[in-house]
């Protein structure tokens, strides 16, 4: 699919994998709307790549609609990358046997609300805009890529909420792809492994922590680069025969229990 001149919405696009994807999409000719809560970083990146920034909380439907409308104003909406997400880790049961020490249910709901429900809300609204976009060759109107995680398959101790949210993304990929085939929109999911992002911090302690993490990577034995994930995201968008798949990009890692 040729994305030259098309508009692309990237949630969580101000940093990490989202930012790397936004840069690569822009380099391929797309007009990118960075949908994020980080105004400073979002505006800075939008200026860098010739795109636009829209302040978006993916748990707020009106915010998502604003981003879609912004995308419509700058080009035909053909791309959505769902990269917004949060993590949370806590054991299911506390050590003292009290109900109060059990996993925080509100935090569990929050992770699901952002990572899973927010992603689906973005899908249904962006796909609605794509449904009235002029079709390309073979009736293609657009492509959606969700960012999941290997935690969807190899969730570690304490990752119940995060793994459930990402497992939900994997689970909806096929049925939504089947659904949106009727309007010429493809849906794929990329499941990253351990990616070197600012979440790990900087400095000597950070480097030591990352060195320990990468021991479980099969090959190459290092953390993944954000650009490597972005490359797969863009391939899923531009390769018109990629549909209804979840692809692990993880160096062959299989996460241990903890």
pLDDT by residue for the chain (258 residues), tens digit each? 999 999 999 999 999 999 999 999 999 999 999 999 999 999 999 999 999 999 999 999 999 999 999 999 999 999 999 999 999 999 999 999 999 999 999 999 999 999 999 999 999 999 999 999 999 999 999 999 999 999 999 999 999 999 999 999 999 999 999 999 999 999 999 999 999 987 777 788 888 888 888 989 999 999 999 999 999 999 999 999 999 999 999 999 999 998
Using CB atoms within 10 A of its CB, is residue 222 exposed (0-12), middle (13-18) or buried (19+)?
middle
Residue 162 annotated in active site: yes
Could you tell me the residue ranges of all domains in the chain? 7-249
pLDDT at 206: 82
User: Is 3.40.50.720 the CATH number for 7-249?
Assistant: yes
Active-site pick, 99, 138, 162, 241: 162
pLDDT per residue over 167-187, tens digit each? 999 999 999 999 999 999 999
């Amino acid at each position: 699919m040729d994305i030259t001149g098309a508009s692309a919405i990237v949630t969580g696009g101000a940093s990490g994998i989202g930012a790397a994807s936004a840069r690569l999409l822009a380099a391929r000719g797309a007009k990118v709307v960075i949908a994020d809560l980080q105004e400073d970083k979002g505006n800075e990146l939008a200026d860098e790549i010739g795109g636009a920034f829209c302040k978006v909380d993916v748990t707020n439907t009106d915010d998502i609609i604003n981003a879609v409308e912004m995308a419509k104003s700058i080009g035909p909406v053909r791309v959505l990358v769902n990269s917004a997400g949060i993590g949370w880790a806590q054991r299911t049961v506390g050590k003292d046997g009290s109900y109060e020490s059990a996993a925080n249910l509100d935090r569990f709901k929050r992770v699901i609300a952002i990572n899973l429900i927010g992603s689906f809300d973005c899908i249904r609204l962006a796909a609605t805009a794509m449904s009235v976009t002029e079709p390309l060759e073979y009736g293609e109107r657009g492509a959606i890529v969700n960012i999941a995680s290997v935690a969807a398959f190899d969730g570690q101790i304490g990752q119940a909420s995060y793994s459930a949210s990402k497992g939900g993304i994997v689970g909806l990929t096929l049925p939504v792809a089947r659904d949106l085939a009727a309007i010429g929109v493809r849906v794929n999911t990329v499941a990253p492994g351990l990616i070197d992002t600012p979440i790990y911090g900087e400095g000597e302690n950070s480097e030591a922590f990352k060195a320990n993490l990468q021991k479980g990577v099969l090959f190459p034995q290092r953390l993944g680069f954000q650009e490597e994930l972005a490359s797969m995201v863009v391939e899923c968008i531009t390769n018109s025969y990629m549909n209804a798949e979840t692809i692990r990009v993880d160096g062959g890692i299989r996460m241990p229990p903890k």
